[in-house]
Structure 1
Amino acid sequence: MKKHIPNTITCANLFSGCIGVVFAFNGELEIAAYFVLLSGIFDFFDGMVARLLHVKSAIGKELDSLADMVSFGFLPGVVMFQLLKMGDFKNEYLPYLGFIITVFSALRLAKFNIDERQTEDFIGLNTPMNTLLIVSLPFIAKDYPAIIGSTWILMALVAITSFLLVSEIKIFSFKLSDLSWTKNKMKFIFLILSMALIVSLKFTAVPFILILYIGLSILHFRIKA
């Protein structure tokens, strides 16, 4: 019975992602973002539960990637599609370029599944973190409509995030073998600084958190080397 628990949690991730996609296609991007957060919670706990119960399986790994493809691949593509539709440069076909994020997310997930270097940490930006950036944009647009409404800025984000997804940049994961400061110092620093940014900047903090995540990851692996 217990072997099915992690996969059930993964299916909850997929289910939440599907609902988020529907809201995103209906233009309700903020509600879609909340379902992304819900998917992220399920995505975090499915692997943790599998490790705790010692029931990691090949089907669980594949199911996790398929669920992530919807929640953190297709859904952010839909959100970017909608944002480009609302952008200041009107073109009938341009918004479809938002799905470049979906394509590169698929490449990222496929690469992760066969890359033995990524058992503990990531190489390239992980799809949940990338999705968090994309779904934060509608919230940021409330304070900075000219920036998020710029088609060229949105297209630049498509290009940058797509590159980061398949890059060779080593990114630390949040898998914790224990809670010691020595082993997890950089992760704790990241969490503390991220919380401070969220308190002070709210949703606008997300792009800065992403930059912080990448920067601390680079520093972490340079020190480790």
Structure 2
Amino acid sequence: MTESKRKGIYLLPNLLTTAGLFSGFYAVVSSMNAHFEAAAIAIFVAMIFDGLDGRVARITNTQSEFGAEYDSMADMVSFGIAPALVAYNWGLTEMGKLGWLAAFIYVAGAALRLARFNTQIGIADKRYFQGLASPAAAALVAGLVWVGTDYNVVGNDYSIIVAAITGIAGLLMISNFKYNSFKEVNWHGKVPFVAILVVLLIFVVVATEPALVLFLVFLLYAVAGPINTFRTVQKIKLEHVVGDPEEDADFTEENKKQSNEPKD
């Protein structure tokens, strides 16, 4: 009986991970059929499932090594391969080699980002992400495609912009720029009643122009990483932008020390 339990997998969290994987695969297929709006939306749906599977696993105490590895593989499809192919099919096909190279930079960045994240579990500063998280990078690229299709923009007419955003998103993922993780937010605490009204207002704003609002939100979040990094260090060094794991660890410790120092 013990042996059979050890070989089994937990259904609910892995079912949510599978739903996210399906959404990423659906995005690729939709972009191949020139259904770019559906492809972009599918990537955002994958983000929802990606946020749910880990929380459900913790709430139900169903974490497992298999689930963590499966989630990482699903993220590579949904937030690595899918956004790159959607961007390529929408606005990079007429650039030739430069087009698929920009898409590959994104894919490679996502793979390296996920690998680095998996090796830093338990030792990284939980307040920040080191480099742009792959779901946020995917949202940036998918948001661009969604906005373009929403406003009837032909992607290949602006292929330079598409290539730049796709490539920069890939590079930001492997950077050492620090991004707020928002994990320090107490979601179980009480908030003033006006906070509920603010949340409702946010939903209304998003519902009016979801493509444009979501793209701008993740664009600002992507820009916030370099700003936060340059603002918290006195002298910019190469390891503040990119570096090996040992340099990254030193950078984390430096940020911790500076965050505890009194401000003028």
Q: 1:200 to 1:63 in 2, by over 3 A?
A: same
Distance in structure 2 (CA, Å) of the matches to 1:149 and 1:10: 36
Moved more, 193-202 or 44-53: 193-202
TM-score (norm 1): 0.79
Q: Does the 8 Å CA contact 1:124/1:170 hold for their aligned counterparts?
A: yes
Query: 1:133-191 deviations in whole A, cap 9, x for unaligned?
Result: 21122332243838883222122212321121111122233545533379xxxxx9x97
**CA apart distance, 1:38:** 2.1
Distance 1:155 1:33 in 2: 16
Matched with 1:129 is: 136
Aligned position for 1:167: 175
Q: Does 1:138 align with 2:145?
A: yes
Report the equivalent of 2:218: 210
Query: In the alignment, is residue 42 of structure 1 matched against residue 49 of structure 2?
Result: yes
Percent identity (aligned): 30
Distance in 2 (CA, whole Å) between partners of 1:207 and 1:23 is 20
Deviations 1:71-129 (A, max 9, x none): 1110001011113346xxx4433331223211111111111110131656421111111
For 2:188 and 2:177, the matched residues in 1 are separated by 25
Check if 1:180 corresponds to 2:189.
yes
Residues 101 and 192 (structure 1), Cα distance of their counterparts in 2 relative to 1, 3 Å cut: farther
Letter in 2 for 1:16: S
Return closer, same or farther for 1:150/1:39 CA change in 2, 3 Å cut-off.
same
Partner of 2:97: 93
1:61 maps to: 68
- CA deviation after TM superposition for structure 1 residue 62, in Å: 0.9
Aligned to 1:185: none
Number of paired residues?
216
For 1:41 and 1:101, locate their aligned partners in 2 and report how far apart those are by CA, in whole Å.
21
Partner Cα distance (2:203, 2:259) in 1: 25
Alpha-carbon distance between aligned partners in 1 of 2:153 and 2:21, rounded to the nearest angstrom: 31
Shift of 1:70: 0.6
Distance 1:113 1:83, change over 3 A: same
Shift of 1:196: 7.1
CA contact (8 A) 1:9 1:45 kept: yes
From 101, 118, 126, the counterpart of 1:113: 118
Which 10-residue stretch deviates more, 18-27 or 195-204?
A: 195-204
TM-score when normalising by structure 2: 0.68
**146-155 or 120-129, larger mean C-alpha shift:** 146-155
Alignment CA distance shift 1:19-1:13 (3 Å): same
Q: Does 1:70 align with 2:77?
A: yes
Rounded to whole Å, the distance in 2 between the matches of 1:79 and 1:192 is 31
1:68 to partner: Cα distance = 0.5
Q: Distance in 1 between matches of 2:23 and 2:88?
A: 19
Tell me the CA shift for residue 53 of structure 1.
1.2
Q: Which runs of 5+ in 2 are unaligned?
A: 1-7, 233-254
The corresponding residue for 2:12 is: 5
